[in-house]
């Protein structure tokens, strides 16, 4: 009788040259029946420069199963799902007719992010997968595998790792992206919970390696709050414009908390100086940018209502509004704290402000009300993504030229203020999880570093060995027999990788029209070769949409495809209506309202 | 032909024309239903589910704030 085999295979995130495009397949083949059961963890996208590659992004090869476990809602872990719905449309339609469904097992916040992607990519609601909500500490069973989700800390709320126990008892722990510092929203890393899971035995430990080169443990939001309050103290007498990556919801909480605490301390100082007592008046937090508004909706839907949380934590009422609201426009400029999208200088809120074409936020309008010499502070509360350095620097330069005081922290040099904390595990965090497994697992644990470049993964291997665990490097596939006590074989990452190249022929993220290519990538020569184009059934269109559809014809040939691509610009299209609305809202009535409020406030503050 | 709940993009366009100052970061579904009922061309008596209403709000948000999607999660970034 053949031996039963449990296997793990990386579909994307473990390839030598890349971070991103995460997809991990866990399978079990029964020795007696030969039956193979498979589940997948994550199905994310790998971003790339379209000008260089011809593709918007790459996704790993299609999951060969109908159950996908999601660790968290970042695009490099969920960004392939909408494309999967396109590519497997016909097959999934047939399955639905039989009452079978593709099931996404995820936490509430990840579900909100996936739904946003499905809608943004034009997947009809009737075709959406079934969502099975998972909760840390609540085990469940999928396709013969026992799954134990556990809370971890990351930059996005509701992030989890999983212990996956195959039918023969082999237990594999996959951390997802993690750090061990506490997070303000939801559950985070818990040593005890990890130790309890380890006590039941961990045969394989798959660890996020992305930040393993950094010494010590990754800092938490508490330190960011301190840095933020320091720069807030120096930002008096003018508006603050800040940039935040929208899914960094813990950072949104940190901002709100820093604003509340800064207001309390300011009020305290006034009292000490003999001014009459008043309620602390935090700046109004004003959100600008679609993804930030969507993030706030997702937070509210998942029970993370910032106003309520801050009230509970500090007793202060904080106002959070969208930039197009009346409240935002009526708030005196020096009471505004803008939170904007476009931290990397992409076509979003910050760049539009710097170039004077943001519909809702105008430097000129604010100066018309607050005075020509009113300082305007611009802070990037996110570090620069490697590869975005030029755009990031150009963005800061534009604000400087517009007369703003800027603080754009460097990723590579020590910074004066701490305004960003990574979500990934540093060497100290990696050592912590290794130590917990070494001390608690009754069986030997083998560490497999994932989601990192070769140097980062080598460092995880070194840390694992220092903590008395065995570790292996660069496998793309591991096969083990019962209870993981013997590795049958492993495959070293091949020079040649297979990806699905995602090409939006419309070059319009608001009305994408996707073509999918099979792309082979040679990691040695760095050459990409298109070997095939996937045929897929397009989503049905409604008659009204058909009338305005600007998508290329379905039977478009290769030459036409190239022409369509060349005709369209890489930049997002702006409608005439957008252009008309791009005029700043510096109408006289609005300026009057603000001026009156400024006066009222000054009077109130006067003795 | 009138508008109905499945005309997500057209509904969002109409809503933006009429109520451009709406704070969509907090708009409740009950409130959305009232705003939609105020559109003359709307003639759908069905009760929409939460996902449909959320889809209308998402489409409306992208009309209010057209922007390039964030390329986050590509690696060592946050
Ligand atoms: Zn992540």
What pLDDT score does A217 carry?
A: 96
Contact A247 B72 (CB under 8 A): yes
ipTM: 0.95
Report how far ligand 1's centroid is from the alpha carbon of A579 (Å). Answer: 35
The residue-averaged pLDDT of A413-419 equals 83
Asked if residue B28 has pLDDT above 80, the reply is yes
Rounded to whole angstroms, how far apart are CA atoms A294 and B54?
10
Q: What distance in Å separates residue B50's CA from the closest CA in chain A? A: 11
Asked, for residue B13, whether it belongs to a domain, the answer is yes
How much of chain A, in percent, has pLDDT values that exceed 90?
67
What pLDDT score does A180 carry?
A: 97
Report how far ligand 1's centroid is from the alpha carbon of A554 (Å). Answer: 35
Asked if residue B17 has pLDDT above 70, the reply is yes
- Cross-chain CB nearest to B78 (options A79, A155, A320): A155
Asked, for residue B39, whether it belongs to a domain, the answer is yes
**Maximum mean pLDDT: which of A188-192, A496-500, A545-549, A566-570:** A188-192
The residue-averaged pLDDT of A559-587 equals 38
What pLDDT score does A488 carry?
A: 66
The residue-averaged pLDDT of A136-159 equals 97
Report how far ligand 1's centroid is from the alpha carbon of A385 (Å). Answer: 13
- Cross-chain CB nearest to A289 (options B57, B67, B74): B67
Structural domain containing residue B36: 8-77
Asked, for residue B2, whether it belongs to a domain, the answer is no
Q: What distance in Å separates residue B3's CA from the closest CA in chain A? A: 10
* b/e burial code for range A394-415 (CB count within 10 A of at least 16 → b): ebbebbeebebebbbbebeeee
Work out the pLDDT band at A436, boundaries 50, 70, 90. Answer: very high
What pLDDT score does B73 carry?
A: 46
Asked if residue A570 has pLDDT above 80, the reply is no
Q: Per the structure, how many domains does chain B have?
A: 1
What pLDDT score does B53 carry?
A: 95
What pLDDT score does A474 carry?
A: 63
Work out the pLDDT band at A385, boundaries 50, 70, 90. Answer: confident
A134-218+422-477 has which CATH code?
Answer: 3.60.15.10
pLDDT tens per residue, range A444-462: 999 988 887 788 888 999 9
What pLDDT score does A571 carry?
A: 34
Asked if residue A500 has pLDDT above 60, the reply is yes
Asked, for residue B32, whether it belongs to a domain, the answer is yes
Asked, for residue B27, whether it belongs to a domain, the answer is yes
Work out the pLDDT band at A298, boundaries 50, 70, 90. Answer: very high
Residues A70/A177, Cβ–Cβ less than 8 Å? no
What pLDDT score does A478 carry?
A: 77
Interface test with B, best of A308, A324, A549 (most B CBs within 10 A): A324
Report how far ligand 1's centroid is from the alpha carbon of A179 (Å). Answer: 10
Asked if residue A113 has pLDDT above 60, the reply is yes
Residues A293/A322, Cβ–Cβ less than 8 Å? yes
Asked if residue A400 has pLDDT above 70, the reply is yes
Interface test with B, best of A297, A454, A455 (most B CBs within 10 A): A297
- The DSSP secondary-structure symbol of A129 reads P
The residue-averaged pLDDT of A431-447 equals 95
Contact A245 B78 (CB under 8 A): yes
Report how far ligand 1's centroid is from the alpha carbon of A154 (Å). Answer: 7
Q: Tell me which residues of chain B have a C-beta less than 8 Å from any C-beta of chain A.
A: 1, 6-7, 9-10, 20-26, 51-52, 54-55, 57-59, 61-62, 64-78
Q: Of A477 and A263, which is predicted with more confidence?
A: A263
What pLDDT score does A602 carry?
A: 42
The residue-averaged pLDDT of B68-78 equals 59
Q: What distance in Å separates residue B2's CA from the closest CA in chain A? A: 11
Asked if residue A215 has pLDDT above 90, the reply is yes
- Cross-chain CB nearest to B7 (options A19, A326, A544): A544
What pLDDT score does A9 carry?
A: 86
Report how far ligand 1's centroid is from the alpha carbon of A72 (Å). Answer: 7
What pLDDT score does A413 carry?
A: 73
The CA–CA distances, whole Å, from A565 to A18, A45, A513, A529 equal: 26, 21, 11, 19
Report how far ligand 1's centroid is from the alpha carbon of A601 (Å). Answer: 43
Instruction: Please list every residue in chain A whose beta carbon sits closer than 8 Å to the beta carbon of residue B54.
Output: 115, 297
Instruction: Please list every residue in chain B whose beta carbon sits closer than 8 Å to the beta carbon of residue A75.
Output: 71-74
Work out the pLDDT band at A387, boundaries 50, 70, 90. Answer: confident
Mean pLDDT of chain B: 89
Contact B66 A544 (CB under 8 A): no
**Maximum mean pLDDT: which of A131-145, A446-460, A545-559, B1-15:** A131-145
The residue-averaged pLDDT of A319-335 equals 97
Asked, for residue B1, whether it belongs to a domain, the answer is no
Q: Of A218 and A576, which is predicted with more confidence?
A: A218
**Which of A288-292, A365-369, A452-456 comes out lowest in average pLDDT?**
A452-456
Left (φ > 0), alpha (ψ -120 to 50) or beta: where does A462 sit?
A: alpha
CA angle A11, A27, A448 (to 5 degrees): 60
Instruction: Please list every residue in chain A whose beta carbon sits closer than 8 Å to the beta carbon of residue B78.
Output: 155, 245, 247-248, 382-383, 420, 422-423
How much of chain A, in percent, has pLDDT values that exceed 70?
85
Contact A572 B76 (CB under 8 A): no
Rounded to whole angstroms, how far apart are CA atoms A416 and A226?
12
Work out the pLDDT band at A411, boundaries 50, 70, 90. Answer: confident
- Cross-chain CB nearest to A246 (options B10, B70, B76): B70
Q: What distance in Å separates residue A79's CA from the closest CA in chain B? A: 9
**Maximum mean pLDDT: which of A116-125, A151-160, A503-512:** A151-160
Q: Where are the domains of chain A?
A: 9-104+496-552, 134-218+422-477, 221-420
Alpha helices in A211-338 (DSSP H): 221-233, 249-272, 290-301, 306-314, 326-330
Integer Rg of chain A from CA:
26
Mean pLDDT of chain A: 86
Q: What distance in Å separates residue B37's CA from the closest CA in chain A? A: 20
Contact B68 A297 (CB under 8 A): no
Report how far ligand 1's centroid is from the alpha carbon of A161 (Å). Answer: 12
Closest CA to A20 of A520, A499, A527: A499
Q: pTM, whole model, 2 decimals?
A: 0.89
Contact B70 A79 (CB under 8 A): no
| Residues A116, A118, A124, A128, CA torsion sign | negative
Rounded to whole angstroms, how far apart are CA atoms B47 and B53?
10
The residue-averaged pLDDT of A466-484 equals 78
What pLDDT score does A485 carry?
A: 59
pLDDT tens per residue, range A62-112: 998 999 999 999 999 999 999 999 999 999 999 999 999 999 999 999 999
What pLDDT score does A473 carry?
A: 76
Work out the pLDDT band at A489, boundaries 50, 70, 90. Answer: low
Contact A296 B54 (CB under 8 A): no
**Which of A106-115, A541-550, B34-43 comes out lowest in average pLDDT?**
A541-550
Q: Tell me if residue A206 falls in helix, strand or coil.
A: strand
Contact B25 A422 (CB under 8 A): no
- Cross-chain CB nearest to B24 (options A115, A293, A341): A293
- The DSSP secondary-structure symbol of A493 reads P
What pLDDT score does A522 carry?
A: 78
Q: What distance in Å separates residue A31's CA from the closest CA in chain B? A: 38
Contact A322 B78 (CB under 8 A): no
- CA A598 from centre of chain: 38
Domain A221-420, CATH among 2.40.50.140, 3.40.50.10300, 1.20.1050.10, 3.40.50.10710: 3.40.50.10710
């Amino acid at each position: 009788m053949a031996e039963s085999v449990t296997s793990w295979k990386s579909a994307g995130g473990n390839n030598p040259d890349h971070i991103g495009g995460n997809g991990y397949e866990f399978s079990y083949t029964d020795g007696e029946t030969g039956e193979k059961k498979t589940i997948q963890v994550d199905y994310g996208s790998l971003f790339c420069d379209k000008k260089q590659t011809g593709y918007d992004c790459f996704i790993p090869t299609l999951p060969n199963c109908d159950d996908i476990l999601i660790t968290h809602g970042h695009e490099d872990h969920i960004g392939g799902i909408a494309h999967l719905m396109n590519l497997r449309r016909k097959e999934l339609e047939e399955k639905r007719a039989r009452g079978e469904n593709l099931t996404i097992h995820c936490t509430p916040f990840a579900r909100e992010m996936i739904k946003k992607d499905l809608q943004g990519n034009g997947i009809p609601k009737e075709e959406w997968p079934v969502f099975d909500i998972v909760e840390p500490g609540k085990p469940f069973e999928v396709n013969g595998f026992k799954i134990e989700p556990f809370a971890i800390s990351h930059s996005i709320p509701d992030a989890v790792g999983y212990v996956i126990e195959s039918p023969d008892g082999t237990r594999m722990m996959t951390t997802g992206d993690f750090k061990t510092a506490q997070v303000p929203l939801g559950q985070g890393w818990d040593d005890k919970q990890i130790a309890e899971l380890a006590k039941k035995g961990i045969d394989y430990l798959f660890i996020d390696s992305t930040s393993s080169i950094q010494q010590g443990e990754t800092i938490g939001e508490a330190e960011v709050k301190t840095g933020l309050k320091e720069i807030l103290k120096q930002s008096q007498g003018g508006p603050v414009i800040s940039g935040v990556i929208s899914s960094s919801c813990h950072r949104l909480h940190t901002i709100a908390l820093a604003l509340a605490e800064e207001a309390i301390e300011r009020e305290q100082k006034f009292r000490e100086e003999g001014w009459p007592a008043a309620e602390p008046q935090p700046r109004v937090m004003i959100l600008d940018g679609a993804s930030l508004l969507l993030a706030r909706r997702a937070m509210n839907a998942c029970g993370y209502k910032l106003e309520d949380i801050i009230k509970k934590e500090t007793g202060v009422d904080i106002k959070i509004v969208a930039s197009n609201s009346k409240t935002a426009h009526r708030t005196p400029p020096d009471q505004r704290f803008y939170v904007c999208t476009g931290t990397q200088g992409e076509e979003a809120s910050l760049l539009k402000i710097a170039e004077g074409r943001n519909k809702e936020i105008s430097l000129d309008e604010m100066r018309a009300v607050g005075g020509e010499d009113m300082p305007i502070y611009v802070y990037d509360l996110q570090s620069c993504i490697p590869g975005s350095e030029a755009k990031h620097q150009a963005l800061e330069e534009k604000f400087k030229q517009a007369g703003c005081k800027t603080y754009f922290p460097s990723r590579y040099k020590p910074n004066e203020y701490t305004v960003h904390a990574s979500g990934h595990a540093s060497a100290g965090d990696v050592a912590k999880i290794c130590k917990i497994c070494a001390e608690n697992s009754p069986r030997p644990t083998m560490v497999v570093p994932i989601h990192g470049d070769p140097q980062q993964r080598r460092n995880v291997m070194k840390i694992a060995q220092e903590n008395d665990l065995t570790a292996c490097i660069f496998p793309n596939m591991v096969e083990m027999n019962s209870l993981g006590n013997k590795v049958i074989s492993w495959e070293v990452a091949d020079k040649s990788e297979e990806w699905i190249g995602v090409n939006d022929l419309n070059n319009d993220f608001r009305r994408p029209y996707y073509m999918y290519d099979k792309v082979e990538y040679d990691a040695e020569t760095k050459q990409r070769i298109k070997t095939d184009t996937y045929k897929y059934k397009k989503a049905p269109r409604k008659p009204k949409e058909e009338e305005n559809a600007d998508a290329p014809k379905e039977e478009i040939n290769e030459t036409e495809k190239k022409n369509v691509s060349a005709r369209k610009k890489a930049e997002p299209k702006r409608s005439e209506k957008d252009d008309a609305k791009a005029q700043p809202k510096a109408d006289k009535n609005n300026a009057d309202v603000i001026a009156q409020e400024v006066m009222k406030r000054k009077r109130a503050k006067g003795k | 032909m009138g508008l109905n709940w499945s005309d997500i993009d057209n509904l969002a366009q109409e809503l933006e024309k009429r109520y451009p100052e709406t704070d969509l970061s907090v708009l409740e579904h009950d409130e959305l239903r009232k705003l939609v009922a105020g559109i003359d061309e709307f003639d759908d008596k069905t009760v929409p589910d939460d996902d449909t209403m959320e889809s209308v709000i998402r489409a409306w948000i992208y009309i209010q704030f057209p922007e390039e999607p964030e390329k986050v999660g590509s690696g060592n970034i946050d």
